[in-house]
Amino acid sequence: MEIISSNSQVDGGEIISLDQKVVVSFSGGMDSTSLILRYLANGSHVIAVSFLYGQKHAQEIECAKKTIALLHKSGCNIQHEISDLSSAMSLFSSALLSKETQVPEGHYEEEQMKSTVVPNRNAIFSSLIYGKALSIAIQHNKNVKIGLGVHSGDHAIYPDCRPEFYDAIHNAFALGNWESEKVSFDLPYLHGDKSTILKDALASCDKLGLDFDQVFENTLTSYNPDSMGRSSGKSGSDIERILAFHSIGRKDPIEYQDSWGNVLNHALEIQRKHQDDVFRETLSELEYYVTRQAGTERPHTGPLLHEKRDGIYTCKCCHHPLFDSSSKFDSGCGWPAFHTELDGADIVRIEDRSHGMIRVEVRCRHCDAHLGHVFEDGPKQFGGERYCINSVSMNFTSEDDA
């Protein structure tokens, strides 16, 4: 086991003693790096543990070392330990371990990505991390947290990233150890995604006085980097990372095997195709025609046209909030009409020259679903606009049901 440590944090020239200890499973990737930044920004003493387990993308450990060196240089209170599990995990089969099996390309949630699952990996990592945390807790007679960067995007493919799994192993570990009350799991990203993780990292870097791009140019997320450590931009993990950076309006600072513009366009096309497959399965024929093919339901037929209850209207495809019932009015046009969109809806407007007319089409910013059109014949007291929206482009949740 290789140990790199620093035992104090410098702030304004003073040495600060930090009591809260957090043991973090640190791959050297985007999520665990963000998690470490979060704890450091909160003033915790972080013990980061990285694992060599025969993974093809073992360059991530070198990336982890670079991140730790940068954090040490900035005076952060962090200790790094690297544990080699290669021999033990050579017993397992996975595309991440086998030289004969190619790492699949495509969307992160597609079926072929299951070949990247390493059997029982997180159970093994969690067991070792738990033992480390409990040892520290007993030695110092203090409560210790275990920080893991799992998030909602992991749940579809990796069963050992689901909340139920961590509930179960926490209970099992508690039953199997004395003084287990001193150790607790902390999974702050569990219900978030890559975008929320990056936003959290931006806030942490700002608080720590670190350059966000300088930190993340040292991270590796790809499962199939080349010999120079450059990400392919095509593995499922790459696609998810690229889309996350794009969603927060930033260019990924790492080096890809192709230009940022090309890897981004590829990721967006993979995302579009994946979403289209999902929508074809989950939407009705009419819902798909309207939301994904910019169609229109027949006037006076929509189920939400005469909805009068108080509540919120959301996007049919992604559930993003669009309108409040207080902005709905009877325009007589045959489709639900609203005079104002919700704060944060950020509905996209696009010039539409179809059918020999010039209109303004409105689409969901989050999933590009066609909603309808906006016209300038709405109530003057509310700005004079009328959002003419297809019923099948929306879901409605009443206040009574919320």
pLDDT-based confidence at residue 13 (cuts at 50, 70, 90): very low
Among 20, 19, 49, which residue's Cα sits nearest to residue 32? Answer: 49
Q: What percent of the chain has pLDDT over 70?
A: 92
Same domain, 209 and 304: no
Structural domain includes residue 236: no
- Predicted confidence at residue 301, as pLDDT, reads 96
Which residues constitute the domain of residue 334?
Answer: 300-398
Domain boundary among 221, 239, 273: 221
- Residue 138 pLDDT greater than 70, yes or no: yes
Domain boundary among 171, 203, 221: 221
Same domain, 73 and 169: yes
Domain boundary among 196, 221, 246: 221
In this structure, the number of other CB atoms found within 10 A of the CB of residue 331 comes to 18
- The answer to whether 42 and 207 are in contact (CB under 8 A) is no
Q: Looking at residues 104-117, what average pLDDT do you find? A: 72
Structural domain includes residue 255: no
Structural domain includes residue 85: yes
Contacts of 387 (CB under 8 A, 6+ apart): 323, 337, 338, 339, 341, 347, 362, 371, 372, 373, 374, 378
- Residue 73 pLDDT greater than 90, yes or no: yes
Same domain, 207 and 319: no
Same domain, 113 and 215: yes
Q: What is the mean pLDDT of the chain?
A: 90
Structural domain includes residue 283: no
**Per-residue pLDDT tens over the stretch 145-203:** 999 998 866 556 778 788 888 899 999 999 999 999 999 999 999 888 899 999 999 99
Chain centroid to CA 97: 25
Structural domain includes residue 243: no
Same domain, 191 and 79: yes
Q: Give the phi and the psi of residue 254 in degrees, each rounded to 5.
A: -75, 165
Tokens 């350059």 found at: 211
Structural domain includes residue 360: yes
CATH number where 198 lies:
3.40.50.620
The domain total for the chain is 2
Same domain, 182 and 308: no
Weakest-pLDDT range from 47-56, 115-124, 284-293: 115-124
Structural domain includes residue 262: no
Q: Fill in the DSSP letter of residue 19.
A: -
CA-only gyration radius of the chain, Å: 25
Q: Looking at residues 375-385, what average pLDDT do you find? A: 96
CATH number where 343 lies:
2.170.150.20
Q: What is the pTM of this model?
A: 0.79
More confident residue, 254 or 12: 254
- Predicted confidence at residue 10, as pLDDT, reads 34
Same domain, 191 and 47: yes
- Predicted confidence at residue 400, as pLDDT, reads 75
Burial of 65 (0-12, 13-18, 19+ CB in 10 A): middle
Same domain, 217 and 119: yes
Same domain, 180 and 321: no
| SS3 sequence of 51-115 | EECCCCCCHHHHHHHHHHHHHHHCCCCEEEEEEECHHHHCCCCCCCCCCCCCCCECCCCCHHHHH
Structural domain includes residue 207: yes
Weakest-pLDDT range from 2-11, 329-338, 355-364, 392-401: 2-11
- Predicted confidence at residue 235, as pLDDT, reads 87
**Per-residue pLDDT tens over the stretch 318-373:** 999 999 999 999 999 999 999 999 999 999 999 999 888 899 999 998 888 999 99
- Predicted confidence at residue 155, as pLDDT, reads 56
Same domain, 14 and 141: yes
- Predicted confidence at residue 7, as pLDDT, reads 38
Same domain, 92 and 194: yes
- Residue 102 pLDDT greater than 90, yes or no: no
Among 209, 217, 206, which residue's Cα sits nearest to residue 241? Answer: 217
- Predicted confidence at residue 14, as pLDDT, reads 33
